[in-house]
Amino acid sequence: MEKQEGRDAGEVRLDDPWYDALASGWGELDGTGVPAPAASPSGAGGGQRHSPADIYLEVHRSPAFQEVRSRYRRFVVPAVLAFFLWYVAYVIAAIAAPGLMARPVAGAVNVAMVAGLGQFLSTFLLTWAYARHARLRRDRAALDLRWTVFDQTRGAEPARESER
């Protein structure tokens, strides 16, 4: 597990709620050749259990979830628009300006080939930028939100406040 910046050792949780079902025996064969069903936790926290619909609505309305969604939108909407405009510009240039696209750049390589390769390069750059943005701007908040939901499904109070 990576060392998380801004946290002391007492706050780092080593268990992961998304692997809990697997750890409880889900998917393992029970000797009959059929996967065993997941073991449902029975009041592990001792508190009142919330229905999945209530938890969903509570999380959906929470400021932390809205912040994660707005961070996502602030990156994705401009990135999709920029990439779409770049793609449409390439197609329009290929249709409307064949002379420009056929102009040689170096040897047999012409403007259309450079722009086409630029499409691939921009796809990889956009993928890298998206992954970086998700890692730096959304993953921490989403993980904290995940822990909150996990704690609620266990019937316990949330273990910690969302960090920013």
Structure confidence by residue, pLDDT tens digits, 34-55: 555 544 444 444 456 667 788 7
Distance CA 64, CA 71 (A): 11
Q: Quick one: 28 exposed, middle or buried, by C-beta within 10 A (0-12, 13-18, 19+)?
A: exposed
| Residue 87 reports pLDDT greater than 70 | yes
Which tokens go with 159? 């273990």
Distance CA 83, CA 150 (A): 37
Distance CA 149, CA 16 (A): 12
pLDDT band at 94 (very low <50, low <70, confident <90, very high): very high
What pLDDT shows up at residue 128?
95
